[in-house]
């Protein structure tokens, strides 16, 4: 299941925003704020889709952080405390 349609980067906060490519696959999550997540362990990129349809990629995210997000009782709280404003990111938008 691919939760992430064709996306293009629109933020300059990434190391190389023009190189951002949407991650394949992804998993829906039970959350009031997050719709789905995907992770590339080779590049340590976490992709997060919010309920409003915005999608961000977070860079240099350890696998343990991704696994913690999946296991968290409150994914929104986990994300806000341990991912948002901690890792560099790029916002992607649907084409």
pLDDT of residue 22: 80
What average pLDDT does the segment 7-25 reach?
Answer: 58
The bridge status of strand 89-94 relative to strand 7-9 is: antiparallel
**Residues 21-67 pLDDT 10s:** 788 888 999 999 999 999 999 999 999 999 999 999 999 999 999 99
For 49, counting Cβ atoms within 10 Å of its Cβ (0-12 exposed, 13-18 middle, 19+ buried), the class is buried
CA distance 1 to 91: 21
Annotate 6-43 with b (16+ C-beta within 10 A) or e (fewer).
ebebeeeebeebeebebbeebeebebeebbbbbbbeee
Average pLDDT, the chain: 84
pLDDT of residue 3: 53
């Amino acid at each position: 299941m691919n939760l992430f349609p064709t996306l293009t980067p629109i933020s300059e906060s990434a190391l190389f925003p023009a190189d951002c490519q949407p991650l394949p696959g992804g998993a829906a999550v039970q959350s009031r704020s997050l719709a789905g997540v995907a992770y590339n362990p080779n590049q340590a990129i976490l992709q997060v889709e919010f309920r409003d349809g915005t999608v961000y990629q977070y860079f240099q995210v350890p696998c343990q952080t991704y696994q913690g997000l999946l296991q968290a009782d409150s994914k929104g709280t986990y994300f806000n405390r341990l991912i948002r404003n901690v890792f560099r990111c790029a916002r992607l938008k649907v084409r």
